[in-house]
Structure formats: structure tokens, C-alpha cells
Amino acid sequence: MKLFFLNRFCNVSRPTPFGPALSKQAVYLVLCLMFGLASPTALALDRARHVIPTQNAAWIYNQCLEALKLESRPILATELAALLAGVESMDDASLRRGWNWHFYDAEKPEERVMKRLFPLMIRRSLHHDFGRLHQQLEVELLGQNRFFESVKIAAEILHYLQDMAVPAHVAPIYHGPGKADNFDSYRMSTRLPAVTLAELGGCNSLSENTDHAEQLLHRVAAGTRAAIESEFLFPKGQRATWEIFWRLWPNNPASAKPKQGFSTYGECGPNFGVGGLSVNSSEVVAARLGQQVCNTVGDEEFCYGKEMPEYCRLPVKTFDDFYYERYKTMVKVGVQLLIYVAQKSTERPL
């Protein structure tokens, strides 16, 4: 219902019974504040899960200070606190959060032009807010070059970059509280291991592949699309891709997307990790869900029955391996962003 309201009525270009344009915008502003701030739409990872890869990235970055001649720009307690606060704050219930959703390419180019002209329209894609942050960071780096201030801006950018490692945000498929995607809260069967510098190819490799934030965004999104399209083996040897969970919309701006701009789940629904088989299990048993699972996009509803197809129950290790690769991407892009900021900055943080 909230998604329907936000998309249909927070659009100031629509006719309204409330009066002329000025009063119409005022009425919509009040209504959108009420619904937008109360609607935690389009959350990706659990808030705390942005903290863990950020800490991991800062740890690896500090290991590269000497090799990359960045000893004067360490991530100390003050910088780390700013990083963690920034990545968490992006999911705060706020006007900004209600207006800017964290999906990749959920709008056509002409929609983005319209939404620059009409600021009260909901932005389903992250690109507008991300572009603003990217420009703000570049201005800081080219201007006063204050490392600490740059880190604070980079923290908000990093939240978006981490979201690009989440399949449903790149497909893109609408999800949020009440319409959760299990990937967001997935817990590995073993303790989540810390990503090491060696796993990311070493300091020089990280530095050579460092780009500005806009390039990192598209690179991570492309990597997630490739991961969804990658094949895995079922217990009995059959092959499939991860599109049985997340259907990718063609990566083509001219393609005719559904009217709300989102793709849909595959036959396994938003059930990544549900009913995972133990490594030694020899049978695939149909997973009975407690209730029907539906994904609502505006006034369109896509439902998956109470019985999930039995082939959706993959070995736990298969789920774990896919999740860990996405987590490793979150860490890697964090290190690359910090290296980029440090290399462009010339002032020791205060």
C-alpha cells in the first residue's frame, strides 16, 4: 500500500482534486512526509551488515599504507567512527531516504530528466543521490583536500556501493520490510570469515583497479549481474543459474520494463537460503513455507505458492559460497574507494 501511494501520489505532475499547482505541491509534500518517513522502503542489507564489511575494508586498507605510500592517511579511530556512522545513516528514516530508493537502473533516462524537474517525485533509482554525493566528493578532493571530510562523504557513497553487491538491488526487484528478500538477512552456516588482503590480490592490484566512485558503482553492479547469471550445480548434477531466485531485466535502457521499473523473482521467489540442505544430505525435500509469499509492485502482485519447488533447496555450501563472494565484493569496493580518496587527498586528517 505504501509503495502504491508513494509512486502514484508523490508525483506532482499528476492531476489532483486539491487545487492549483502550488497548493497541490504543498498537500503532496505533507502526505509524502507522512508516508515516506514512516516507510522504510527498499532496504538492502540489515543496517549492521553495512558495518561489518566497512570494518573489514578499513582493516585491509591500513595494511596497504606503506606499500602505497599512504602512511599519512591512516584510518584511525576518528575516521573509522565517521565511516561506520555514514554507512549506517543512509538507512535512517528520513525525507531523503523516503525520496531516494537504493535500486540500480530502475528508471528510464527520460524518467530521470522528469524527476530533476519535479523534485517531489519518488526516485526509485539511486543514481540521482549517488551522483550528487560523487560530485560533492570530487569537489572536496579538488578543493580543500581534507582527508577526514572526504572520508565522511565516502562513507555515504560506500553504502550505495555495498548495496550494488545485493542481487535484488541490481536485478532490480522491489523488496523491503514486509516483502523481505532472504539474502539481506542470510547467515552463513559457519562464522562469516574476515576477507584477507591476499584474497583481494594484494595492495598493488587493488590500487591499479581503483577508479572514481561512479566507475566503481557500475563495475560492482555489472559483477553482481554476472554472478546472478553464473551457473551452479544441483545435488544431482543438473545446472542452473541464480536467476531461479532473481530474474534480471535486460541491461538495456531502451528495453520495455514493467510500468513500475522492476523485474520479478524467479520460480524460487525471495527465498535464498530457505531450507538449505546440509552438505551430507542425500534427499531434496519440498520446503513448506508458513504462508504464501508475494511480491507487490504498485498494483501488480506476483505470488509464489505455499510450497516452494523442491529444487530451490540447495546445499548450504552452495548458498554460503554465493553469499561470501558478494560479501567479498562489498569489502573490496570499500578498500578501493578508500585508496582512491587517500591518493587524491593531500592533507593529513585533523
Q: What value does the mean pLDDT of the chain take? A: 74
Q: Give the Cβ contact number of residue 82 at 10 Å.
A: 19
Q: What is the pLDDT of residue 183?
A: 92
- Please give the residue that has the higher pLDDT: either 20 or 260: 260
Q: Give the Cβ contact number of residue 115 at 10 Å.
A: 20
- Please give the residue that has the higher pLDDT: either 37 or 243: 243
Chain-centroid distance, C-alpha 312 = 24
For the chain, the distance separating the N- and C-terminal CA atoms, rounded to the nearest angstrom, is: 47
Q: Give the Cβ contact number of residue 81 at 10 Å.
A: 11
The domain limits of the chain are: 1-39, 40-344
- Greatest mean pLDDT among 33-42, 244-253, 284-293 lies in 244-253
- For the chain, the maximum distance between any two Cα atoms, rounded to a whole number of angstroms, is 67
Q: What is the pLDDT of residue 103?
A: 84
pLDDT confidence bin for 263, thresholds 50/70/90: confident
Question: 40-344 — its CATH code?
Answer: 1.10.575
Give yes or no for residue 350 having a pLDDT over 70: no
Q: What is the pLDDT of residue 119?
A: 54
Q: What is the pLDDT of residue 295?
A: 46
What tens digit of pLDDT does each residue of 23-68 get? 433 433 343 334 333 334 445 556 678 999 999 999 999 999 999 9
- Please give the residue that has the higher pLDDT: either 209 or 44: 209
Mean pLDDT of all residues in 66-87: 95
Give yes or no for residue 86 having a pLDDT over 90: yes
Q: What is the pLDDT of residue 304?
A: 44
Which pairing describes strands 231-233 and 123-125: parallel, antiparallel, or unpaired?
A: unpaired
Q: What is the pLDDT of residue 34?
A: 41
Give yes or no for residue 285 having a pLDDT over 90: no
Q: What is the pLDDT of residue 302?
A: 42
Q: Which three cell numbers stand for residue 308?
A: 516452494
Give yes or no for residue 321 having a pLDDT over 90: yes
Q: What is the pLDDT of residue 123?
A: 63
Mean pLDDT of all residues in 239-246: 92
Mean pLDDT of all residues in 207-224: 90
Taking the alpha carbons of 110, 111, 113, 118 in that order, is the dihedral positive or negative?
positive
Q: What is the pLDDT of residue 180?
A: 81
Mean pLDDT of all residues in 332-344: 95
